[in-house]
Amino acid sequence: MTKEENKAPKLAGWKFTRGRLKYSVNESFFDIWSSQMAYLLGFTYADGNVYKTSLSWELQKQDVNLLEKFRRTLKCTYPVVFGHGGLACRLRISNQVLVQGILRLGLLPKKKFRFQIPRIPAKLLRHFIRGFLDGDGWISIRANRNEIDVGFTGCNKDFLDVLNKKIAEVCCIHPGKIRKKAKITPNNCISTTYMVEFYSSQAFKILEWIFDNLEKDDLFLDRKYSKYLEAKKLHHFLKSGTRKVRIIQRIKRKTMEQILKDLYLTKGFNGVEIAKALKVHSSSIYRWLAKTGIKYPVGRGVA
């Protein structure tokens, strides 16, 4: 046991008293595994707060839709409130039974004491990871460099190390390198965080695993799901052919198959004319025609 683990609060001695509740919630939500429960657990590990008998999440105003999803999923009548001049929104649930349920899964009140990923059914792991990514991760698309970047951050290196290895194992990729970052807080204290990143095809494998084939009731942060769709489009673009093909597709804003169909089938261009229009050698045109499955007369001109 590390020094930090030894300092972690002991929950066994906590005593809860039950008063009259103003609002309602599904108190047994964290007692039964589901994709929604795994996601909410992952999101809470990353960006949730537990204080005695309350569980809360505070997000940017633009992400209020996710808190509304939480309310529906938890069958909760607690309101979402706005603060910080209307720039932030928060859902706070004061219910000791619900809190006990999530504490039993290993989530401790302070982030720095969250050392281990709980034992999650294998088929639900991707939902937990998606929740953690939505809470404490990022997706960056650099189209000008044809690059996809996916990263996770946290204040506990041990937790991030386990997360890193699990992702690598499931997605059959190499583990990312964990980096340390320290900064001075407004209170003049040193805040240390850790991060792990994945790039290009490895990054897309992770995104495809956690976002693809979601069910109607599965949870996700809208703006990060939109980033996944951007990444998917870029990935398919990069897989579409050689650098020259990608440049032509980017300029024309169409796939090579659409470009060739337009020039050959619609405009009636021959191989030489298509080659001149696209500023490439005609041999490339016939190669692309064969690859896309568009039939072309046997006679070929040479540009």
Residue 19 vs residue 247, higher pLDDT: 247
Residue 239 confidence class, pLDDT cut points 50, 70, 90: confident
Of 80, 84, 100, the C-alpha closest to 27 is 100
Q: Torsion angle, CA of 127/132/133/135, rounded to 10 degrees?
A: 130
- Number of other CB atoms surrounding residue 164 within 10 Å: 18
Lowest mean pLDDT among 86-100, 165-179, 188-202, 283-297: 283-297
Per-residue pLDDT band for 20 (boundaries 50, 70, 90) equals low
pLDDT in tens, 168-208: 999 999 999 999 988 877 777 787 889 999 998 899 999 99
**Mean pLDDT, residues 127-156 taken together:** 90
Average pLDDT, the chain: 84
Where do the domains of the chain lie? 3-237, 243-292
**CA quadruple 198, 204, 207, 208: dihedral sign:** negative
> 33 and 121 in contact (C-beta within 8 Å)?
yes
pLDDT higher than threshold 90 for residue 40:
yes
Domain 3-237: CATH architecture, name and number where available: Roll (3.10)
The pLDDT of residue 207 is 97
Total-model pTM: 0.76
Q: Report the share of the chain in percent with pLDDT over 70.
A: 86
Residue 137 has pLDDT above 90, yes or no: yes
Distance CA 132, CA 164 (A): 12
Q: Which residue has the tokens 């500023």?
A: 279
Is residue 18's pLDDT more than 60? no
What is the per-residue pLDDT across 41-76, written as a single tens digit (0 to 9) for each?
999 999 999 888 899 999 999 999 999 999 999 999
pLDDT at 113: 60
The per-residue DSSP string of 167-231 comes to HHHHHT-PPPPEEEEEEE-TTS-EEEEEEEEEEHHHHHHHHHHHHTT--TT----HHHHHHHHHH
Task: Provide the pLDDT for residue 46.
Answer: 92
Confidence of residue 146 (pLDDT cuts 50, 70, 90): confident
Q: Say if residues 57 and 67 touch (Cβ distance below 8 Å).
A: yes
The sign one gets for the Cα dihedral 66, 67, 69, 74 is positive
Q: Mean pLDDT lowest for which of 55-69, 136-150, 289-303? A: 289-303
Q: How far from the centroid of its chain's Cα atoms is residue 68's Cα?
A: 19
Least confident of 97-106, 124-133, 217-226, 240-249: 240-249
